[in-house]
Amino acid sequence: IGLGLVGFGLFFILFGMLLYFDSVLLAFGNILFLSGLVFIIGFKRTFNFFFQRPKLKGTSFFLGGILIVLMRWPLLGMLLEAYGFITLFR
């Protein structure tokens, strides 16, 4: 179930970017991606991964980008998400 949710999440994010940053598809993709991640590694491990002391900057940008996408500013939100994703997995 988790891999399917992550796969659909990535598909919707890619499809949302191809359709000129459609905010509904991007938001749906973000929600599916995060819920799939929780299904794969568990809620506690996901929480521990995102809220480690050295990763708080990347987490704040990533989750802030998701919040901005949900507020229907998709381009700015995706830029913030991309920066947060890079800082999280650096």
Secondary structure string (H, E, C) spanning 17-39 = HHCCCCHHHHHHHHHHHHHHHHH
What proportion of the chain, given as a percentage, has pLDDT over 90?
A: 98
Q: Are 56 and 47 in contact (CB under 8 A)?
A: no
pTM of the model: 0.90
pLDDT at 90 over 90: no
Closest CA to 75 of 28, 23, 10, 24: 23
Contacts of 18 (CB under 8 A, 6+ apart): none
Instruction: Please give the pLDDT value at position 34.
Output: 94
Per-residue pLDDT of 40-84, as tens digits, reads 999 999 999 999 999 999 999 999 999 999 999 999 999 999 999
Closest CA to 9 of 21, 20, 25, 17: 25
pLDDT at 15 over 90: yes
